[in-house]
Every structure is written in C-alpha cells, then in structure tokens.
C-alpha cells in the first residue's frame, strides 16, 4: 500500500511569548519527530504512451488517472477499459474498444492535450500548449440542474470535511475535496497535496463507480476555487461548488457562463455566493447592503 506520510526530524522553535499548542517552552528549541505529507510523481500513460506526469500524494491513483483523463475530455463517462498500475508511480490506461477512426481521434486528442512541462501539485493547467486548450467543453447542462441547497447545510460541510481528513490531521499539509448530497451527507472524500488532484480523485471515483453525471451534488474544496476546479466540476456535471477560500475572477466568470453555483469564503456561519444564487434556499429574500466593498 502506498505511503501517504513520512516521518522526519525537525527542530521545533518557540519564541518568547508564543503559546501554540504542542510547542516547546517559550524561548526553547527542541528536536522532535514530525509527519510530512508524501509528494511523488505519477506518470499517466495511454496504451503505453506517456501522456503527462503529475505530482501527487500516493493513494487512489486509479481514481486520479481516470478523473484527470475525463477532465481533459479524453475519455467518456463509460470510462476506460482498464487502468493498470505498472508500479507505484506509473498508471497505464487502456481506452475502451472502439472503431479504428475513433481510436485515431482519441490518440490525436491525447497528443494535443499533452503537457509540455511537469504538472505540479500547485497547478493543474501548467504546461498547456495554448490558452485556448485550457477550456474543455462539458457534455452536461449544469444550468438545467434544479437542485436546491440551504445555506445551513453548506455551512455545516467544512466541519464534516475536516473530521474525515485523516492525513491532514496528522500532517496539516493536504488539500481535500468532498462530494456531498444536497442534505449534507458525505459520499466520498479524497486528499492530496494538489487541489486539482483531490478533485480528479473524486471525479475518477464517480466515473469508475458509474455515477456520472453528478447532478444534484455539492463539491467542497478545502482551498480556493480556481478556474480549473470550476471546469472540473462542470465536466462532472456538478451544479454546486463551494470553497473555504476565495474564487478567482476567471473561476467566477466560467461558473456564471456554465450556470454553476459558486460559493466562497465558506467559514463558520457566513459565506459569499458569487453565481447561481437561485439554487440557495434562503429563508428570507436578500437585502442590498449600503456599505461599499473593501478596496
């Protein structure tokens, strides 16, 4: 089984006046053991031909490979015929049998989508050949999804996500993505050093278990909501994306264009709804604030 944490000796330094939990006495430096989240490369191949390398936390690698390829538009919801782990860091994907012209088309698409550089755990679209190739068209009509979600349910999700983040609890160094039902029930959680990898693992799980499209579901991410995460949610047919931090302007623009409900700064009892606000089951109509936005 792949190791997700690694033990390392560190020098713990506590300055005078600090009172952090688990820290040494103020003004003292001590040697202690610490757990780090593992980061290793995963090479994804199609039919033995290398396609890309992504930095990830080992575990759920077949989900990661499936989710990545689906998000790139290289496989359909039926999924690949087989994903074989050649070793701990190589996933070889065999596409479903199809007539020769379709196989040629898929191979051509794969070459066009191939990354020129290593995909880091921080960025899921680094290395694309052109700006135009970043956008991938979803096959699902997100705007037509009629699901309604209460803000009270949304507010409860970060705590539920955190309670299930076992590796984060021991390292403090992983992102998480969780898929929830409209009533707040956690269906699956995946952790990874990369935000995009965690979402790919969730989508790959859904693909491999025959659950796509994920209509009527909520995707919660532990960090910010970037363009790539909105796009991955759209590709999987997810109508609601919530993040504990801020979205980017491009993420909000894509969400609005696709009809996706985008919620950011989901912390405690407050949140910001940027797009798709008609899906939020408010107990009273919104009022217009007279306060200017902070500069």
234 and 120 in one domain?
Answer: no
Domain-ending residue, one of 134, 157, 176: 134
Residues 264, 156: one domain? Answer: yes
> Is 14 inside any structural domain?
yes
Structural domain count of the chain: 3
pLDDT, mean of residues 188-193: 94
Higher pLDDT, 244 or 101: 244
Give me the mean pLDDT over the 21-36 stretch. 76
Per-residue pLDDT band for 116 (boundaries 50, 70, 90) equals very low
CB 94 within 8 A of CB 69: no
Q: Is residue 177 part of a domain?
A: yes
| Same-domain check for residues 49 and 61 | yes
Residues 28 and 129 in one domain: no
**pLDDT value of position 283:** 85
Could you tell me if residue 291 is inside a domain? no
Instruction: Please indicate, yes or no, whether residues 159 and 248 belong to a single structural domain of this protein.
Output: yes
**Annotated catalytic sites, by residue?**
123
Establish if 295 belongs to a structural domain. no
Whether the predicted pLDDT of 104 surpasses 70: no
The answer to whether residue 290 is domain-embedded is no
Q: Is residue 210 part of a domain?
A: yes
Point out the least confidently predicted range of 27-41, 78-92, 231-245: 27-41
Q: Residue 150: which domain range? A: 142-279
Task: Assess whether 155 and 130 both reside in one domain.
Answer: no
pLDDT reading at 261 higher than 50: yes
- Band of pLDDT at residue 254, cut at 50, 70 and 90: very high
Residue 287 falls inside a structural domain: no
* Residues 166, 174: Cα–Cα separation, whole Å: 10
Residues 186 and 130 occupy one common structural domain: no
């Amino acid at each position: 089984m792949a190791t997700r944490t690694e033990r390392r000796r560190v020098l713990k330094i506590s300055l005078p006046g600090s009172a952090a939990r688990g820290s040494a006495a103020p003004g003292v430096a001590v040697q202690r053991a610490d757990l780090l989240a593992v980061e290793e490369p995963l090479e994804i191949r199609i039919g033995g031909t290398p396609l890309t390398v992504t930095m990830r936390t080992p575990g759920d690698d077949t989900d990661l490979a499936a989710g990545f390829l689906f998000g790139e538009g290289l496989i359909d919801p039926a999924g690949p015929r087989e994903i074989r782990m050649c070793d701990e860091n190589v996933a070889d994907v065999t596409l479903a049998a199809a007539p020769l012209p379709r196989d040629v088309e898929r191979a051509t698409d794969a070459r066009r989508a191939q990354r020129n550089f290593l995909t880091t755990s921080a960025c899921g679209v680094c290395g694309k050949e052109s700006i135009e190739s970043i956008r991938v068209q979803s096959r699902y009509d997100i705007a037509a999804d009629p699901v309604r979600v209460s803000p009270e349910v949304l507010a409860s999700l970060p705590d539920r996500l955190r309670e299930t983040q076992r590796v984060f609890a021991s390292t403090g160094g992983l992102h998480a993505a969780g898929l929830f039902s409209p009533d707040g029930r956690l269906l699956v959680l995946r952790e990874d050093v990369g935000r995009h990898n965690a979402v790919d693992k969730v989508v790959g799980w859904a693909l491999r278990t025959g659950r796509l499209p994920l209509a009527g579901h909520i995707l919660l991410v532990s960090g910010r909501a970037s363009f790539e995460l909105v796009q991955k949610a759209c590709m999987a047919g997810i109508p609601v994306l919530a993040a504990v931090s801020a979205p980017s302007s491009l993420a909000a623009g894509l969400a609005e264009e696709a009809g996706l409900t985008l919620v950011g700064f989901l912390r405690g009892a407050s949140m910001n709804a940027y797009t798709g606000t008609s899906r939020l089951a408010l107990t009273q109509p919104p009022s217009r604030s007279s306060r200017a936005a902070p500069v």
